[in-house]
Structure 1
Amino acid sequence: MTRLLLGGVAVLALAGCGSGGTETKAVPPTATGSLESLAAEVKCKPDIQTDADELRQALCRNTHGRFVLATFATDRGLREWINDAKDYGGYYLVGRKWVAVGDNGTVTALRTTLGGDVEIGADHHAHGG
């Protein structure tokens, strides 16, 4: 299941490799809640891809772009997932037991509503394709 989720993250991460935009705005307190409540906060109708006890994942789209939204049963599960996913590059907005993954502009925009901390994956700009 982790490989399936990481594959989806890799696609989004690679799509966002060339995006820019570093405008910062005030960051609210970090949101909490279910996948559905977090999606509602950012005006996204979640397309659930994984619905398991330890992980729930959805593809989302709103006016700021496409992103993956995932919730975890434990903080440890979230941290282990992020540590593996960062190898694929991309931008990660991290809250307590949740993560949103997308390009830099999308993650920056989501942060103005959801709060959280931005983490950046491996830089793949130097790699030829």
Structure 2
Amino acid sequence: MLQQSFRGPAERTPATERLARGAALTGGLALLALSAACGSAGEGAAPQGAKERASVTAAPAVGVVAPAKVEVIANLTGCKAEIRIDADELREGLCRTKEAKYVITTFPEEKYKETWLDAAAVYGGQYLVGPRWAIGAKPEVLEELRPKVGGTVRQLRAVGPPPSAS
């Protein structure tokens, strides 16, 4: 019968060391990303106009995308959402501003978003889509919202026979 020897914390196996180093690296990168995201815009000696230019292009340039929470996305777009659906699979809020009307839908998991988009494809149209969220609006509104929340515009094709030309 084989006997296994006990290895204490001082005698780690190479695989365990790699795992520990990987976890430390991942944690360090996460902290770095958080500290960069939370840094003050007033730090440093940037020219006065530079601060304005950076804030306008920051989200798309660095790939920042809004989190999957209706209220947060609504706030980023300048509205207070009226929650219409609050279910386990999705939350939906309606935003009305002077310029536009749009619907923000968030999902607890990416698979629910993809299922919802597959079902919405029956109707066609364009949606601004991010991780676990989608915004439905007119194409010109989506282009205005994109710099504020990130994401990509996704064209959904209507399913079914084309309308008759009579």
- Scaled by the length of structure 1, the TM-score of the pair is 0.71
Higher RCO, Cα 8 Å, sep 6+: 1
Does residue 49 (structure 1) correspond to residue 107 (structure 2)? The answer is no
| Residue of structure 1 equivalent to 2:163 | 127
Task: Determine whether 1:108 maps to 2:143.
Answer: yes
For the pair shown, the structure with the greater C-alpha radius of gyration is: 2
Structure number having the greater strand percentage: 1
Runs (5+) with no aligned partner, structure 1 = 1-24
- Equivalent position amino acid for 1:65 in 2: A
Q: Write out aligned runs for 1:29-68 (5 A).
A: 29-68=64-103
Give the length in aligned residue pairs. Answer: 104
In angstroms, what is the RMSD of aligned CA positions? 2.2
Alignment of 1:75-114 (within 5 A): 75-114=110-149
Secondary structure of residue in 1 paired with 2:121: helix
Amino acid corresponding to residue 45 of structure 1 in structure 2? K
Q: Summarize deviations over 1:13-72 as a string: whole Å, max 9, x none.
A: xxxxxxxxxxxx956221114110110000111111101122100111224411110100
In 1: Cα distance, 2:108 partner to 2:99 partner: 27
1:33–1:79 CA distance, 2 compared to 1 (3 A): closer
Structure 2 unmatched runs, 5+: 1-55
Query: Quick one: percent identity of the two aligned structures?
Result: 33
> Who is 2:35 aligned against?
none
Task: Report the TM-score when normalising by structure 2.
Answer: 0.57
Worse-matched range after superposition: 26-35 or 61-70: 26-35
Q: CA deviation at 1:127?
A: 2.6
